[in-house]
Amino acid sequence: MRKLSPGRTVVSYIWALSPIYTLGMGTSITMIIAAVRVRSVLLWLMQPVYLALVILGFATAGSEDGTTGDTVFLAVFLTLVTIGTGHAFFLRRRVFSPAEADLLKQAELDVHRRRELRAQAAEVARRSPALAVEMRIGRPDLERSYDDGGLIDVNHAPASVLAEIPGMTPELAARVVQVRSDTGGFISAEEAATLADLPPMLTPQIAEYGVFLR
């Protein structure tokens, strides 16, 4: 199960503690929220029980001390607070974990962001190769503070880094390193693919992730 963000964690604890600070009377609403979020038939089947206890609690709330009604109220209060809180904490992570649609949307946003970063860094490399070298664009193997979106300097990165290009195997990466050593480097993805005799499917991937700094 995915780790909750700090914000979701805080909200989840506030929700899970609601049976306590509502004195048990909000437990039914707490469990309805859980049933809606988790989409559990079992949780929905339990709703009448929680609702009945809440109604019974309200009905006996004004009973005189020592009477049967007072005893019933105390038992209902303790049940809603203890059982409700324990149940809420048991469900907390499931209730507040991002929905699959949210996860998919976040994954799409992350991909787009990485593409934008690669495009920006590639433009820096095109405009000022010396600056790109100083910024260590395409060199995740070196210490740096600039996020280039996953670009790889095909002319200088070690084979282990080249192998991170989608579709690039360690064997193909080693071949690229050998050919660039023999030829002095490449000027484009097409040249690298041709000289290193790489599979055609790799050319678009090298073009997407590669820079060719001299």
Which DSSP string do the residues of 43-77 spell out, in sequence order? HHHHHHHHHHHHHHHHHHTTPPTTSHHHHHHHHHH
In this prediction the pTM is: 0.56
- pLDDT exceeds 70 at position 99: no
Alpha-carbon distance of 96 to 142, in angstroms, equals 38
Give the start-to-end residue ranges of the domains of the chain.
Answer: 6-97, 109-211
Q: Which of 105, 140, 138, 109 is nearest to 208 (CA)?
A: 138
Q: At what angle do helices 41-60 and 27-38 cross, to 10 degrees?
A: 170
Which residues, other chains included, contact 155 with Cβ-Cβ below 8 Å and sequence gap of 6+?
180, 185, 186, 212, 213, 214
Please, which pLDDT band fits residue 10 given cuts at 50, 70 and 90? very high
Write the single-letter amino acid at 14: I
Q: At what angle do helices 6-16 and 84-96 cross, to 10 degrees?
A: 160
**pLDDT in the model for residue 109:** 83
Q: What is the pLDDT of residues 120-152, one digit of tens each?
A: 999 999 999 999 999 999 999 999 989 999 999
